[in-house]
Structure formats: C-alpha cells, structure tokens
Amino acid sequence: QNALGIAKAALQSCPGSAEARLHAMARAHLETLFADRNAHVVALFEWRRLDPAASAHLSHLRDAYEAMWVEVIDDALAAGLIHGDRFLVSRFILGALNWTVRWYDPNGPRTPDDLADELVAMILSR
C-alpha cells in the first residue's frame, strides 16, 4: 500500500510531461524498494510462499501499482520516448528496477535518485 501512495504522490507533484512522469515513477519505485528492502524481497521473490489471503492481497496491490506504471509507459510510448510492446517494456523497466534491491549499495556512490535517473536514461530513445 505504501508503494501506491508514494507513486501517486510522485505523479501528482511532477510536471505533466511523459518524461517527467517516467522519472517520478522510477524514483518513487526505488524509494519504496529501499525503504523496506526485506519486505520487498519477500514481495518480489518469495510471494509464492505466502498464505492464500496474503498472496491475494499482494496480487491486488501489485495489479493496481502496475496499472499506474502502464499508464506512464503508455504516455512515454505515445510521446516517442521509448519504443516497443507495452507488456515487454513494462516488464523490462520493472524488472530492472526491482533487481536493484539485490545489488544496490546505499553506501555506494549513487543515491536512489541518481540511480533512477541513470536507469531511465538507459531506456529513453534518444
């Protein structure tokens, strides 16, 4: 639920351009991941071990969150910022962002905002 709130707030506070919205979602995603790494490792990689009620609740939250991403990705596709199939693009972006929970070092040279900006720059078609 926290991820949904952070993402909604990020989108509401950014300018309306597709690129700004993509950056805002990436930053919000990493902020959420790194705020509670352990919970997100379970949610991302161990969700099959949850009891049915918890799994259903997590699936509902994931679907709502991914719907927000699809809207942002659709805007970026329409603006020509990125290219490809919406499903593949969304899986690529979310996969790249989600995997950072495995390797990102909070004591390293990049802040989460720096990392989000670099990852978004990699996927933009320029």
Closest to 24 (Cα-Cα) out of 36, 7, 40: 7
Q: Phi-psi category of 17—alpha, beta or left, where left has phi over 0 and alpha has psi -120 to 50?
A: beta
Q: What is the pLDDT of residues 57-90, one digit of tens each?
A: 878 888 898 999 999 999 999 999 999 999 999 9
47 and 58 Cβ atoms separated by less than 8 Å: yes
Roughly what angle, to the nearest 10 degrees, separates helices 18-35 and 37-45?
Answer: 100
Mean residue pLDDT across the chain: 88
Closest to 121 (Cα-Cα) out of 69, 76, 86, 66: 76
Whole-number pLDDT of residue 62:
84
Q: What is the pLDDT of residues 96-119, one digit of tens each?
A: 998 898 899 989 999 999 999 999
Whole-number pLDDT of residue 43:
67
Fold of 2-123: Tetracycline Repressor; domain 2 (1.10.357)
pLDDT at 37 over 80: no
pLDDT at 20 over 80: yes
DSSP letters, 2-32, are HHHHHHHHHHHHS-SSHHHHHHHHHHHHHHH
Whole-number pLDDT of residue 59:
82
